[in-house]
Amino acid sequence: MTINSNKQIETRKKEGIDLALQNIQAKNISTLFECVHPIHNALPELNLLDIDTSTKFLGHDFQIPILIDSMTGGTPAALKINTRLAQVAEQFNIGMGVGSQRAGLLSSRLASTFKIVRKNAPNAFIFSNIGGAQLAEGLKTSSIMKLIDMIDADALAIHLNPLQELVQPEGEPNFRGILKRIHELSKDLKIPIIVKEVGCGISPQVALKLQKNNVSALNVAGLGGTSWTGIEQKRAIKANLSSKINMGLLLWDWGIPTAASLLLTKKSVKLPLVSSGGMRNGLDLAKSIILGASMCAYAQPMIKHASKSYTSLTQFIEDLHFQLKSIMFLVGAQDIKQLKSKEYVITEPLTSWIHQISGKNEKK
Ligand SMILES: Cc1cc2nc3c(=O)[nH]c(=O)nc-3n(C[C@H](O)[C@H](O)[C@H](O)COP(=O)(O)O)c2cc1C
C-alpha cells in the first residue's frame, strides 16, 4: 500500500479507461476461436422462439451466460460507466464484476464508485475484485471482507496479472505466497472465489493448483483481446521508463490464446470455467460454451458501449443474445445443456497448442 497512494491509483484508473477505449489489443495473435468450427445442422427440428439460453453459475440463475468482466471503479470517471453497466446487468439478468477495489478501501469518496453498482443492480450477480499482488503483499482478510460488503458481492474475483505488474510503471511484481493466501481466503470467506487473468490466459498446471486450493471457478482471460501489456507500455512511455517501454513491446503478445486456455483448463480441472479475453460477439460466446465454458465474460466491448450510451449498451447485449440463439438454432441445440454437448472441429494452430501442452503434462 505504500507505493501506490490514493491519488496515484485514481489517476491510473482514469488512464486505464481512456487507453482501453482506444482499443489496445493483441497485435499478431488472436484468441484462436477462428480455429473452432461447430458442426452445422441442416435439420435442426427447432423453433428459434423456443430456444432457451438460461443457465446456472455458482448457484445463481442467469438469463444469458454472460458476465460483464471486472473493470472499473476508483475514479470519478467510473461512476457513469458503472451505473450503466449495473443497470443492464439488472435488466438482462447477467453478471457484473467491478474493477480492483483497492482504491475503495483507501477512500470513502472512491468507495462510492463501487457502491453505485449494487444500488443499480439489487438482484444481479455482482463480484468483487482484488489483485493477487495485493494479497501477496499482505492485504488482510478483514480488508477483503470490507470490499465484499462494499457491494454486497456474490463472489470475489482475484486477478493474477504478473506481466501487467512487470510493465506497469508503479507495478508490484511480487507474487510470493499468493497461493497460500488464496487458500486461506477460501476458508475464511462465505462467498465463492473466482480466479482470473487479465489477458495472458491460465495454463492447465496453474488451473490444477488453483483447484487444489479451493477456488470455485476460473476465468481464463486469455490472449487475443485487450492487451494490458500494451496499455501499461503506453503509460510507461508517458512516464519515460525505457526498460518498461521495451519490455512492453517485447511481450505485447505474450500468453495463452483464449480458446487454447479454455480447452486446456477444461481438460485439467472440473471447475466451472469463464471464457474471456477477446470475446467480441455471440459466435465467440456460442463456441466458448461448446468448448466447455459455463459463462463468457466481456470487458472492452462493454465499456466501449457503456461510454457511448445506455441504448448502445442494451443494443450490444440484445445482439449477443440474438447471435447466441441463432448459433444454437444452427447446431440444433434447444438449451445450454444441449449446446455443451455439440461436436466441433479444431484446426491449426489451436490443435498444436492443445496437443503439445497435453503431451508435456503426460510425461510428468
Ligand atoms: C478498462 C478496463 C479496466 C480493467 N480493470 C480490471 C481490474 O481492475 N481487475 C481485473 O481483474 N481485470 C481488469 N480488466 C481486465 C478485464 O477484466 C479482462 O480480463 C481483459 O480486459 C480482457 O478482456 P477483453 O479482451 O474483453 O477486454 C480491465 C479491463 C478493462 C478494459
Nearest CA to ligand 1 atom 13: 71
Nearest CA to ligand 1 atom 30: 71
Domain 21-363 = CATH 3.40.50.150 = no
In the block, which residue shows the cell 511481450?
251
pLDDT confidence of 363, banded at 50, 70, 90?
A: very low
Closest ligand 1 atom to residue 197 Cα is: 19
Report how far ligand 1's centroid is from the alpha carbon of 71 (Å).
5
* pLDDT value, residue 1: 38
Q: Report whether residue 279 contacts ligand 1, using a CB cutoff of 6 Å.
A: yes
Before 349, cis peptide (omega within 30)? yes
In the block, which residue shows the cell 487507453?
19
- Report how far residue 178's alpha carbon sits from residue 184's, in angstroms, rounded to the nearest whole number: 10
> Looking at the chain, how many residues does it have?
364
* pLDDT value, residue 358: 64
Closest ligand 1 atom to residue 99 Cα is: 8
Report how far ligand 1's centroid is from the alpha carbon of 335 (Å).
29
Give the DSSP letter string of 224-292.
TSB-HHHHHHHHHHHHT-HHHHHHHHHTTT-S-BHHHHHHHHHHH--S-EEEESS--SHHHHHHHHHHT
What are the Cα distances from residue 109, in Å, to 97, 100, 146, 302?
20, 15, 15, 25
Question: What is the percent of the chain with per-residue pLDDT over 70, rounded to a whole number?
Answer: 97
Report how far ligand 1's centroid is from the alpha carbon of 50 (Å).
34
- Report how far residue 359's alpha carbon sits from residue 362's, in angstroms, rounded to the nearest whole number: 5
Q: Is 184 exposed, middle or buried (0-12, 13-18, 19+ CB in 10 A)?
A: middle
Query: Global pTM?
Result: 0.97
Longest dimension (CA), the chain: 63
- Report how far residue 30's alpha carbon sits from residue 258's, in angstroms, rounded to the nearest whole number: 8
| Spatial contact of 253 and 187, defined as CB atoms under 8 Å apart | no
| Kind plus residue range of the DSSP H or E element containing 305 | helix 300-308
- Report how far residue 329's alpha carbon sits from residue 325's, in angstroms, rounded to the nearest whole number: 6
Q: Which of 324, 338, 218 is nearest to 267 (CA)?
A: 218
Report how far ligand 1's centroid is from the alpha carbon of 98 (Å).
10
Domain ranges of the chain: 21-363
- Report how far residue 115's alpha carbon sits from residue 224's, in angstroms, rounded to the nearest whole number: 31
Report how far ligand 1's centroid is from the alpha carbon of 270 (Å).
25
Nearest CA to ligand 1 atom 31: 300
pLDDT, averaged across the chain: 95
* pLDDT value, residue 4: 60
Question: Average pLDDT for residues 208-229, to the nearest whole number?
Answer: 98
Question: Average pLDDT for residues 212-221, to the nearest whole number?
Answer: 98
Report how far ligand 1's centroid is from the alpha carbon of 69 (Å).
6
Cell of 302: 462493454
Q: Strand pairing partners for 223?
A: 257
In the block, which residue shows the cell 478501501?
105
Q: Report whether residue 257 contacts ligand 1, using a CB cutoff of 6 Å.
A: no
pLDDT in tens, 310-356: 999 999 999 999 999 999 999 999 999 999 999 999 999 999 999 99
Question: Average pLDDT for residues 219-246, to the nearest whole number?
Answer: 98
pLDDT in tens, 261-314: 999 999 999 999 999 999 999 999 999 999 999 999 999 999 999 999 999 999
Q: Report whether residue 73 contacts ligand 1, using a CB cutoff of 6 Å.
A: no
Closest ligand 1 atom to residue 73 Cα is: 8
Report how far ligand 1's centroid is from the alpha carbon of 161 (Å).
10
